[in-house]
Amino acid sequence: MQWFKMNLKLLLLLITLCAVPQCDVHACPHQCSCSGDKVECAGVSTMMTFPVYGLPRNTSELSILSTQISSIEASHLNAVPYLTRLQLYRNKLDKLPSNLLHNASRLNSLDLTGNQLGHLPPGVFSQKSLQNLVLKNNHIDQADVEWFADNNSLIWLDVSGNRLSEVPAAFLQKLKHLEHLDLSDNNLQELQPDALKNLHHLEILNLAGNKFTTLTPTAFNHNPKLSRLFLQENHLRELPPSLFSGLPRLQMLLLNQNRLQHIPQGLLDGRNSSFILTLATNPWLCDEKIEYLWRWINEHHHNVFYLEEVTCNGPEDLKDRQVVSLTKSELGVLK
């Protein structure tokens, strides 16, 4: 009888322990690896469905990479109530349910890079705890303001490598806590007026690899914390003289691989010694209008990366000359 009572107490103790998240800490789905509260299922070509069974209940980080999974449901995340980071990288996902994150109350980071997502339903990212969202390299052609709740906490948004031809001003204005915004490698031709108006905390903005030909003079007027601005690989032909005047913290500006022939007087004034600038692979026209750029890069040559690739595209007698090497007489400068 004493033996029975001792074993009964032990059984009750085990049942009690199983009420806490650590109960199934040693469980792990087939074909996945588990370490502490982290689970990774990578390169499993035979994995067709979300691995609900066997997930440790205390999982905080879950990575499912390069599988054949084509769908995910909100109920799948019920198995991991302590999840803070979910990476679903390079799978076959082509849709998401609107209630996907409704029970993921602790989720901070969601990475959906390299799937086949197109249309996303309203409310799909409305979870208040979500701060980092990556939708890179999908098939998204429309940014919908209804994806997010009005009281969202998003600070990092990456929608690069999609098919966006425009981003509504209302979409960006709703994301007032954003610090990092990546819209690179889409089909954008312009920023709507005041699109960045509410992004007072924005520090990094990537617009590279689009089809911008110019930007409005007030495009960045409301982003005083902006420190890195990527504008390379666009179709920029001209820049307003005051475009960067409201950016006292700008430390990196990439303008390479555009269609610039000149830059206006004063565009680069006020930059400190740690400022980084790229200008290569533009068709610079080395006539009297290039004097401002010529003077600036001679005075700040340490700030210009790939300086030797900043060359003249014309006139013919100066073609392929490095701009920094030109003389006053070649430019027709009298003083």
Nearest Cα residue to 220 out of 233, 234, 239: 239
Report pTM: 0.91
Residue 164 · residue 187 · CB < 8 Å: yes
Sequence-separated (6 or more) residues with CB below 8 Å from residue 182: 136, 157, 158, 159, 160, 204, 206
Could you tell me the CA-to-CA distances from 124 to 95, 101, 198 in Å, in that order? 10, 7, 22
Average pLDDT of the chain is: 92
First-last CA distance in the chain: 108
Lowest mean pLDDT among 3-12, 33-42, 227-236, 297-306: 3-12
- If DSSP codes are grouped into helix, strand and coil, which group holds residue 285? strand
| CA–CA dist 3, 32 (Å, integer) | 40
Instruction: Check residue 2 and give its pLDDT.
Output: 53
pLDDT in tens, 21-53: 444 556 899 889 999 999 999 999 999 999 988
Residue 21 · residue 57 · CB < 8 Å: yes
- Tokens representing 133? 């969202």
CATH of the structural domain 1-111, one choice from 3.80.10.10, 3.30.470.10, 3.40.50.1980, 3.40.50.720: 3.80.10.10
| CA–CA dist 139, 144 (Å, integer) | 14
| pLDDT beyond 80 at 14 | no
> Where does residue 120 rank: exposed (0-12), middle (13-18), buried (19+ CB within 10 A)?
buried
SS (H, E, C) 71-117: CCCHHHHHHCCCCCEEEEECCCCCCCCCCCCCCCCCCCEEECCCCCC
- If DSSP codes are grouped into helix, strand and coil, which group holds residue 323? helix
Nearest Cα residue to 332 out of 286, 298, 296: 286
pLDDT in tens, 110-151: 999 999 999 999 999 999 999 999 999 999 999 999 999 999
- Relative to beta strand 276-278, strand 284-285 is unpaired
pLDDT in tens, 153-182: 999 999 999 999 999 999 999 999 999 999
Confidence of residue 16 (pLDDT cuts 50, 70, 90): very low
pLDDT in tens, 248-289: 999 999 999 999 999 999 999 999 999 999 999 999 999 999
Instruction: Check residue 12 and give its pLDDT.
Output: 43
Q: Where are the domains of the chain?
A: 1-111
